[in-house]
A = this chain, B = another copy of it.
Amino acid sequence: MNTLRALQWAHTVILRTLEREMEAEGLPLAWFDVLIHLAEAPDGQLRMQDLAGSIVMSPSGLTRLIDRMEKADYVTRQRTAEDRRGAYAVITPKGKAELERIWPIHLRGIEQHFATNVDDADVPALYAALSRIIAGVEGPTGSYASD
């Protein structure tokens, strides 16, 4: 219980801080998340639902997020003949460039607000514990990639 509360606190405070930093840089954290997941995916594309799962957002939320990002020319939607209901979100060159730009800034933020405060010795245990939690909540069908 207290551990859960600590988890919530740690998350909220860190993420809020990072979010503000990113926003100040002109790229909301959610946008960054999308870009990085796409950049890491083969061909820089992901089905909408897979992407929604990866960044833990509702389908409708993702639809609008991609709407905005498409307007900014960071991603494109690509429909495929193979299943004409579905759509891929594809990262654009501009999206890639933006990701390159923001990446070091974001890393610095993480270093400053998170990594600094983690005892090196804690990391493996922390990571292992969190992974187990995730695996448990998700069940065998989970889409969390522990890359």
Q: Hey, which chain B residues are within 8 Å of A127, CB to CB?
A: 2-3, 6
Residue of B nearest to A56 (CB): B12
What CA separation (Å) do A137 and B134 show in the bound complex?
Answer: 24
Task: List, sorted by A's number, 19 A–B pairs whose CB atoms are closer than 8 Å.
Answer: A1-B115, A3-B118, A6-B130, A6-B146, A7-B11, A8-B11, A9-B130, A10-B134, A10-B137, A13-B56, A14-B133, A17-B137, A117-B132, A117-B133, A117-B137, A118-B132, A122-B125, A125-B126, A125-B129
Inter-subunit contact A119/B110 (CB<8 Å):
no
8 nearest interchain CB pairs? A117-B136, A11-B11, A122-B129, A6-B130, A125-B125, A126-B129, A12-B56, A117-B133
How many Å lie between the Cα of A63 and that of B39 in the bound state?
A: 40
Cβ of A123 within 8 Å of any chain B Cβ, yes or no, is yes
Report if A96 contacts B (CB, 8 A): no
Given A13-B138, A122-B125, A6-B117 contact (CB < 8 Å): no
Cβ–Cβ contact A132 & B138, under 8 A = no
- Whether B8 contacts A15 by the Cβ 8 Å rule is yes
Q: Give chain B nearest CB distance to A32 CB in angstroms.
A: 12
Q: Which of A90-147 contact B (CB under 8 A)?
A: 107, 110, 113-119, 122-123, 125-138, 144, 146-147
A7 and B7 CA atoms in complex are apart in Å by: 8
